[in-house]
Amino acid sequence: MKEASIAVAGATGVVGREFLKVLEQRRFPASQVRLLASQRSAGKRLQVMGQELVVEETTPDSFRDIDIAFISVSTELSGELAPIAVDAGALVIDDSSYFRMRPEVPLVVPEVNGEDVEWHRGIISIPNCSTTPLAMVGHALHNVDPIVRIVADTYQSVSGAGGEAMAELREQSRTLLDDGRADPQALTDQIGFNIIPRIDSFLPDGYTREEQKMMEETRKIMHAPGIALSATCVRVPVYISHSAAVHIELERPMDPREARDLFDGMPGMKVLDSPEEGLYPMPWNVAGTDDVFVGRIRKDVSHPNGLAMWVVADNLRKGAALNAIQIAEEVLKRGSLTPTKAGGVPQAS
């Protein structure tokens, strides 16, 4: 595998910091690492792969001589920075929703559609953190028994909303334990000892943008535009890891044991499903790990071809930083740093 010079925009955010950890853990072949952030964070020093680096303010020059630019900033800022990085000759791996659904932008979970890194015009998007686990679960089944419909209700941690939301959960919980009142700032509503049935803004059809992302992105990653999908995305008072109750209808009935074997055989997935021993995935036992964990795999008794299950993944790792690095590894492996002129999303059912 060749080496690559990389820039990390948003290096001081929760995903950025996790990214630097994963970079080191996977011994990513970086010839150079440049850390970028807003003016406010410039000058901070972070440990990366055994050396201390100074965070620089992001400027148009930041991406000069960079092979791969990882961008994990606000959606709006991604929209500004990514084209600058592409113009400077970098391949952008972007964490925001800004480019994800554009037909000329691959949206990639390497275990599902790694081949899509071979066509791009300078930008590859990583999916929303609640989408990635669902796409992996879906992919494991879909190739064997096509999926007709998915209903997924989520239990998403506050780190999906960034470091300020994590601090808010901590401080607000303490305040509420001391009989104080909640004063939501980073999130729309009280999160301490409460749950919020809303992530991101509302659309005219009553779904939220987060739910829409989960539904549209899953279909795009799986190359399965025909799957019917409904989601309710809910914020819960948990720091790290997103969970989901998932109900899947297949074309034909499938024994839960077969589903278990398919998940077991899928790279990046782990089955943790021994109810009799009290073993099932939960945020606290999944946070900090790399895999998508599935448990409570059972026949969905409400549909002859149904399966029900419980899926948990670390939203900062597989849901963001790890997936981004895996995409970079896939790009280097396939030698597809250079944009292709042709493109478009290959569609298959």
User: Applying CB under 8 A, which residues contact a second copy?
Assistant: 149-151, 153, 155, 169-170, 173-174, 177, 182, 188-190, 193-198, 202, 205-207, 215, 228-230, 232, 234, 236-239, 243, 245, 247, 256, 275-276, 278, 280-284, 295-303, 306, 308, 310
Structure token digits, residue 30? 């970086």
Q: Which residues of 104-119 are buried (b: 16+ CB within 10 A; e: fewer)?
A: bbbbbbbbbbbebbeb
State which residue, 57 or 193, has the beta carbon closest to a second copy. Answer: 193
State which residue, 38 or 173, has the beta carbon closest to a second copy. Answer: 173
Which residues have CB under 8 Å from 6's CB, separation 6+? 28, 30, 32, 33, 34, 66, 67, 68, 69, 70, 328
Give min distance, CB of 52 to a second copy, in A: 26
Give the active site residue among 120, 139, 142, 242.
242
State which residue, 249 or 330, has the beta carbon closest to a second copy. Answer: 249
Give min distance, CB of 202 to a second copy, in A: 4
Give min distance, CB of 66 to a second copy, in A: 38
For residues 178 and 4, what is the distance between their CA atoms, to the nearest angstrom?
Answer: 51
Q: Which residue has the tokens 């929760």?
A: 14
For residues 285 and 163, what is the distance between their CA atoms, to the nearest angstrom?
Answer: 21
State which residue, 76 or 189, has the beta carbon closest to a second copy. Answer: 189
Give min distance, CB of 338 to a second copy, in A: 39
Structure token digits, residue 1? 């595998």
Give the active site residue among 120, 129, 142, 233.
129
Q: Which residue has the tokens 């190739």?
A: 143
Give min distance, CB of 232 to a second copy, in A: 4
Supply angle C-alpha 6, 10, 14, rounded to 5.
Answer: 115
Active site residue 233: no
Q: Is 230 exposed, middle or buried (0-12, 13-18, 19+ CB in 10 A)?
A: middle
Give strand pairing partners of 246: 152, 309
State which residue, 44 or 260, has the beta carbon closest to a second copy. Answer: 260
State which residue, 52 or 179, has the beta carbon closest to a second copy. Answer: 179
Packing angle, helices 322-334 and 14-25, rounded to 10: 50
Question: Do 48 and 28 contact (CB within 8 A), yes or no?
Answer: no
Sign of dihedral through CA atoms 112, 307, 203, 187?
negative
Give min distance, CB of 275 to a second copy, in A: 4
Q: Which residues of 184-200 are buried (b: 16+ CB within 10 A; e: fewer)?
A: eebbeebbbeeebebbb
| Catalytic (active-site) positions | 129, 242
